[in-house]
Amino acid sequence: MAGHPVAPPSPLRHTRRIGWGDLPRPLREAFTHAMGADVAREDRQTGGWSPGMASRLTLQDGRRIFLKAISADRDPHAPDLYRREATTTAALPDAAPAPRLRWTYDAEGWVALALDDIDGRMPAQPWRRDDLDLVVQALAVMADALTPAPDGTLPIGVDLADNFSSWRRLAGDRTGGTPQAVDRLPAWARDNLDQLAALEADWAAAAAGNTLSHTDLRADNILITAGGVKVVDWAYAVASTPWTDLLLMLPSVAASSRIDPEPIWHAFPRSRNVPDDQANAVLAALAGDFLTQSLRTAPPNIPGLRQHQRAKGEAALRWLRTRLATTHL
């Protein structure tokens, strides 16, 4: 859409990671025993928001493996996410564009996952249209490959029920006389809080579906290889629609580039027939979640996280505002 306001490129810092030598000896010994070889080289990865280890390891026999590890001391919430990622990754069908899980460790407060090493690169930052086109094409294939979702997959409406009720909570805070968080929102959000809360109320029904959706797609969870696109870090996978992943990813693209998300959305085969009110409901919920999280105290081991959330929340809000101005609910 011509005239869509887009964000300038936004440099965002990432996390302080640990390395192989920082892992406890029992974990390192268990890994080398399981692999049947010692570690010869470590290449730390700098992207992402976990303060744990994320390294490409070369073993003494020449094999390569990707190892990620975290302790509750580094991040009290991360071990459960790693456990969930292990369960999801192990259940992925062979057609899923994801690395295979090879080994897990869960002892003494540490959780580790060893996965196939992917020889690829992250999409260029700021996003380029050629990289985005490759990723969007892969999302269409991924949606087909991951429908239906594996039995027992958590529905998105259950998993994100709390996160995606932010506007309604903020509206209640304002009515209840505690407007401090509301005062820190973008001006348009403050002025249209009731409309945003009403939109958000319909998000769960709009996003209900039986496609396994990643829900945390951004540049540092995507690898472009010679053979296509691979998606990593499946900790937040849920059952949703075949268009959910694209909708949730595009604000991240807009926050770090000058790419307008609207034409990408309209060209995607799985979203062409999605009613505007359904897409707007999910987009409103996403914007509220990011903006609300950005107001919280920053975690000590994850510098830049709140800035990152604010940038994506504002990008989602800009996109929603433009859509509301050009569609009839």
Dist. CA 182–CA 174, nearest whole Å? 7
- Do 238 and 188 lie in one domain? The reply is yes
What pLDDT was estimated at residue 178?
A: 58
Strand partners, 212: 239
Which one of 49, 81, 116 terminates a domain?
116
**Residue ranges of the chain whose pLDDT lies below 70:** 1-16, 47-49, 175-179, 301, 328-329
What pLDDT was estimated at residue 302?
A: 72
What pLDDT was estimated at residue 12?
A: 41
- Do 257 and 175 lie in one domain? The reply is yes
Residue 288 in any domain: the answer is: yes
Instruction: Look up residue 302 and give its two tokens.
Output: 């994850």
Which one of 61, 94, 116 terminates a domain?
116
* Contact assessment for residue 153 and residue 147, using Cβ atoms and an 8 Å cutoff: no
- Do 177 and 279 lie in one domain? The reply is yes
- Do 54 and 164 lie in one domain? The reply is no
- Structural domain of residue 26, as residue ranges? 20-116
The CATH number of the domain holding residue 304 is: 3.90.1200.10
* Contact assessment for residue 89 and residue 240, using Cβ atoms and an 8 Å cutoff: no
- Do 66 and 158 lie in one domain? The reply is no
What pLDDT was estimated at residue 305?
A: 84
Which one of 55, 83, 116 terminates a domain?
116
